[in-house]
Amino acid sequence: MTEENKENKAPEAKPEAQQLPVVHKFLVGEKMGMTQIFDAAGNLHAVTVVKAGPCRVAYTRTKEKDGYQAICLGFGHKKEKNAYKAELGLSKKFNSPALRHLREFRVNDLAGAAQGQTASVERFAEGEYVDVQGVTKGHGFSGGMKRHNFAGGSASHGASDRERAPGSLGSRRSLGRVLPGQRMAGHWGVETCSVQKVKVMKVIPEQNLILVNSGIPGAAGSMVYITRTNKKLPKPPAAHAKAKGKKEAPKAKPAPKK
């Protein structure tokens, strides 16, 4: 083959990774921020924009080998020089750069799940309800009023140094010591928090975006985890109206006493 033919030869197309079965409804994503959109009826909704996927199945856990069943999804990539040897070895198994974020999701059935598969935002549809988990913003060391919404002390009668004080902490009730769990000043934030049963308002597959009708814990750029909600779903409007308009059957009159 001449040099000219080598230059004109089209590069070989890489085989596309198979999709994770849609029954496994979970994704790892990045919180982008908040905005607002209009629905079909013209109502305005505040939404949080999440860039979710495409995620890659890093590995699976089986009950026979690990004692539980789970699927680990990876999101994002990082440079090879910043990855551990174990991460590089894991990524080489499915010919991919080192994954930045890994998260295991427990499942009841591993049917169809295999290493190297991809998961995109298309596994969720508009109108579905999901649970979103994230890590709250860190506020450092905060006082009682800011951390627990205390009212503070009176600003009169010369008590200028007690306006933001938490008040008495120990008493005879607590045996002269501060009991565990007492609301006091301390570290606030950086806690795992979940928002349950939020509605998916819009899915944009071209940009890997999901818009959910709720605020999500964490700052912009933080990692969030989206799963199918385990709460009771609301009835469809048609079924609700049908049940509401259905008349109860008349009760049978009791037989007259003899």
**Same domain (yes/no): 52, 107:** yes
Report residue 5 as tokens: 């033919």
- Asked if the structure places residue 212 within a domain, the reply is yes
- Asked if the structure places residue 251 within a domain, the reply is no
**Same domain (yes/no): 113, 201:** yes
Instruction: Answer yes or no: are the C-beta atoms of 71 and 118 closer than 8 Å.
Output: no
Q: Which domain does 105 fall in, by range?
A: 16-138+192-242
Report residue 149 as tokens: 């919404």
- Asked if the structure places residue 237 within a domain, the reply is yes
- Asked if the structure places residue 74 within a domain, the reply is yes
State the total domains in the chain.
2
pLDDT (tens digit, 0 to 9) for every residue of the chain, 258 residues total? 555 554 555 444 444 568 888 889 999 999 999 999 999 899 999 999 999 979 999 999 999 999 999 999 999 999 999 999 999 999 888 888 999 999 999 999 898 899 889 999 999 999 999 999 999 999 999 999 999 999 888 887 777 788 888 888 766 666 777 888 889 999 999 999 999 999 999 999 999 999 999 999 999 999 999 999 989 888 776 655 665 666 555 666 776 776
**Same domain (yes/no): 29, 42:** yes
Kindly report the CATH number assigned to the domain that includes residue 29.
2.40.30.10
Q: What are phi and psi of 53, to 5 degrees?
A: 85, 180
- Asked if the structure places residue 7 within a domain, the reply is no
Contacts of 256 (CB under 8 A, 6+ apart): none
* Residue 48: its H or E element: strand 44-52
Instruction: Answer yes or no: are the C-beta atoms of 31 and 137 closer than 8 Å.
Output: no
Buried b (16+ CB within 10 A) or exposed e, 58-75: bbbbeeeeeeebbbbbbb
d(CA 114, CA 127): 29
Instruction: Answer yes or no: are the C-beta atoms of 101 and 75 closer than 8 Å.
Output: yes
**Same domain (yes/no): 55, 100:** yes
